[in-house]
Each structure stands twice: as structure tokens, then as C-alpha cells.
Amino acid sequence: MPKNIFPLDSTKSFTEQEKLGHNRWHPDIPPVETLKPGDTFRADCREWFDGAIKNDDSADDIRNAPVSKVHALSGPFAIEGAQPGDLLVVDILDVGPIPQEDEGPLAGQGWGYTGIFPRSNGGSFLVDQFPDAYKAIWDFTGQTATSRHVPGVSFTGIIHPGLMGTAPSAELLKKWNQREAELIATDPNRLPPLALPPEPKDAVLGGLTGEAFAAAAAEGARTAPPRENGGNQDIKNLTKGTRVFYPVFVPGANFSVGDLHFSQGDGEITFCGGIEMGGFIDLRVDLIKGGMDTYGVKENAVFMPGNVDPQYSEWLSFSGTSVTLDGEQRYLDSHLAYQRACLHAINYLTKFGYSAEQAFLLLGAAPIEGRFSGVVDIPNSCATVYLPTAIFDIDIRPSTDGPTQIDPGIGAPKSAD
């Protein structure tokens, strides 16, 4: 309902809009608007790939997705009086797909997508088991998602922004670039890469032009990872009603937002991920002056989730430990343990007729819970993943009757090699 200070035209690309956003983090990107503490506003948000992914039955667009172009962010928005050391308070008043556009070629116009990134283009959480590109298109009916590519499921989306954050200071940006370069240097040719270095190609930097643009494009941080400023945290619980506290690193805070998801499971495990869409977000901003010191919050977001998340009361859950598929014992590796738990869930669902890719896409998109259950029981971490049983048309609980078989339909599209 509040005034839209960052309107987007669905028929135009991200760079042709009336107001220009950005797809790199840099302190020099000038604010596109300035707000007062207490202000509420709406911003439209472009889907993260700016329309490159189509509502069709091919995954070639996922295989070729232009990673150098992401994320198409709305902002930065400056807050009057914000100074380094403050905490920026952001209330998510509402968030959803593109209003009043129920059909069209842009994700967010009544539909969204989940893609499994292939090894050649970023890879996923389970890249070793799923090296190729796959896609699922999800149709929105109100807050409910269904898919012709993953039949027999229907769930209430847990709608949220995947990415919100404040601008880094020059010092912080330098730190990011340095530590990530050091990591990349350990295996520079790895596929998928360990991290993404600054990339001037396809950089969009709002109002910057000329030499300032060139300088910032050369060092602007990529938006893929979450960092001290929040950023691409992909926390599925940042839903309507959530209050988030961000550290402020530059005068004005220079807050940006994007990467809206119609839904997502914990982890966003397919990478291209959740159910991606364009849409809108209504925010209220405020300040806690000096809050970083007062509360000891120097980095990463602190947040209070809203109270209208979809409620499910019955869950089928899988556990995994930090032993590799090859049987190698790793030491307290919760990341691996969650991979194993997710693989268990995927394998289980194939017994009901789903392809492994369909099951993987579903875990990326549906509001599944992923928990650190045990992190100290040497040498094995234990991770768990929880699937709400009510999202399935059939009964997926284990029983003496054995699994009912679904009709997998046309299946999840796979890209040509």
C-alpha cells in the first residue's frame, strides 16, 4: 500500500527502467532515493536473472543462465541520519509477486521457477549427484504453488526476499575481495568455482558513470554470498511481519533488496533456488543509533520472524551424518550431514514414483525445514530435514502397505548437453 519509490515495468529489462538498480555491492553507488526514519515505502523487485528464465519445458536457460548479471537489486535506499555504527531496522510489511499481472513472460507474473544449476554453471548443493541442469515451473494460485513438472504436490509458499542488505564500506569491501581471492587462489580452475571474483562484465551500478563506474565495476563485490551486511542470506523465514536489524557501514546505510522467492526450503539447495520471481516488497525503516556497539552486532543480520508463516503440523523427517557417500568419515561436517539427509529424502521420494530430479526440485522449493540436530558427537554431525506431509496429494508416510505410486507426468525438463 505505501508509495512505490522504485517502480519497475515488467515489459522492460532491468537496465531500461526509469530508475536503475544495481547488481554489485559498492559503497560509491549513489542512493536512488532517500528516506526518513519511520518511513514506509514499496519497491518493485526484478527476478534475479532479469527475465532470462522462461516459462517453458526446457532447462537450457538454466544451463546458460547469465550468472554475471545477478542479482538485479532495487536500491540503494538511503536513510537520513544513518551513520556507521547504527543498526538499521527494517520491517517487512508485505511481499509478493508482481501485483495485477497474472500472466506474462516474466517470472512473478503468476509463475516462478526453480532450477538445478549444472556443474558447468555454478552447481548445486548436490552437484556430484546432479551434475546437469533441470528446471521446474511453478504456478501461483493465491499463495499456493503447484507445478506441471512436479505433480502431486501443492503448498503454501513461504514468501520472502532472498537478499537484503546495507552497502559495505570501502574497508569492508576490500576485506571481502581479499579473503575471497585467497580462497579462489587455492583452486582457481575449480568447477564449480569456489567463489566469484569481481566481474566488470554485466555490472550494473545505478547512477555511477564514467570512471567512477569503471572503478566500482572493477572491485564491486558479487552479490551471490551473504556477508557482514546481510546480503544474499536466503533465510526463508524473512516473511511478512519480520523485523530485521542490519549493521550500518556507510552514511545513509544504503539499503538494497531483491531476489524475491515465492517459497524456499531451508538451504535453497538447488541454488537457482527457492521459487524465483519478481514482485514487490513493502518496507518500513528506522534506526537504532549506535546500536552496533550497544547490542554487539557487528555483522550479519539479527531478525525476528513474522507470525504468519504457513503452519504445518505433521512432518516426515530424514537424518544424515558426516560420512561421505563413498564411506569416508569426515570430522563434524554439518554441511555434509545435511547433504546426506537431503539425499535420503530424495531417494525416499523416488520410491513413490518421483524422479530424483523432481524430488530435488521439490526440496528446493517447498517450505521444508533443515536443522542442525547434533554438532558435537565426534566424529559425526547429525543434520535433519523435515517435509510437511500435507503438501503431497498422496500419503507419503512409511507403512506396511508400501508406497503409492504417483504419475510423474512430463517430468522435470533437463537441458540439452
Q: Which of residues 256-285 bind its own copies (CB under 8 A)?
A: 266-271, 273, 282, 284
C-alpha cell read off for 89: 531496522
Rank residues 164 and 203 by Cβ distance to its own copies and give the closer one.
164
128 binding its own copies? (CB under 8 A): no
Exposed/middle/buried for residue 407 (C-beta within 10 Å: 0-12, 13-18, 19+):
exposed
Rank residues 36 and 397 by Cβ distance to its own copies and give the closer one.
397
Q: According to CB under 8 A, which residues from 324 to 383 bind its own copies?
A: 327-335, 338, 340-341, 344, 347-348, 350-351, 369-383
Query: What single string gives the DSSP state of each residue in 270-285?
Result: TEEEEEE--EEEEEEE
Q: Identify the residue among 210, 400, 407, 410 touching its own copies (CB under 8 A).
A: 400
Name, in order, each residue with C-beta under 8 angstroms of 342's C-beta and a sequence gap of 6 or more. 125, 126, 267, 269, 318, 320, 360, 363, 370, 385
CB of 326 to its own copies, least distance (A): 10
Rank residues 28 and 309 by Cβ distance to its own copies and give the closer one.
309
Total residue count of the chain as it appears in this document: 417
Q: Identify the residue among 384, 392, 413, 415 touching its own copies (CB under 8 A).
A: 384
Rank residues 28 and 110 by Cβ distance to its own copies and give the closer one.
110
CB of 358 to its own copies, least distance (A): 15
Rank residues 85 and 192 by Cβ distance to its own copies and give the closer one.
192
C-alpha cell read off for 255: 539499503
394 binding its own copies? (CB under 8 A): no
Selected range binding its own copies among 76-84, 198-206, 248-256, 294-302, rule: CB under 8 A: 294-302
CB of 327 to its own copies, least distance (A): 6
Q: Which of 253, 262, 386 is nearest to 318 (CA)?
A: 386
Q: Which residue has the cell 528464465?
A: 53
Rounded to 10 degrees, what is the CA torsion of 29, 159, 373, 328? Answer: -70
Q: According to CB under 8 A, which residues from 148 to 167 bind its own copies?
A: 156
Alpha-carbon distance values, 114 to 32, 45, 89 (Å): 30, 18, 31
36 binding its own copies? (CB under 8 A): no
Q: According to CB under 8 A, which residues from 177 to 206 bind its own copies?
A: 179-180, 182-183, 192-196
Name, in order, each residue with C-beta under 8 angstroms of 350's C-beta and a sequence gap of 6 or more. 356, 359
Name, in order, each residue with C-beta under 8 angstroms of 190's C-beta and a sequence gap of 6 or more. none
CB of 305 to its own copies, least distance (A): 6
Give yes or no for a contact between 245 and 297, defined as CB atoms under 8 angstroms apart: yes
Whether residue 379 has a cis bond before it, omega within 30° of 0? yes
CB of 53 to its own copies, least distance (A): 17
Give yes or no for a contact between 240 and 281, defined as CB atoms under 8 angstroms apart: no
Q: According to CB under 8 A, which residues from 88 to 127 bind its own copies?
A: 89, 91-94, 97-102, 110, 122, 124-125
Residues in contact with its own copies, counted by CB under 8 A, come to a total of 132
Q: According to CB under 8 A, which residues from 58 to 87 bind its own copies?
A: 87
Rank residues 28 and 380 by Cβ distance to its own copies and give the closer one.
380
Cα separation of 257 and 235, whole Å?
Answer: 13
Rank residues 213 and 318 by Cβ distance to its own copies and give the closer one.
318
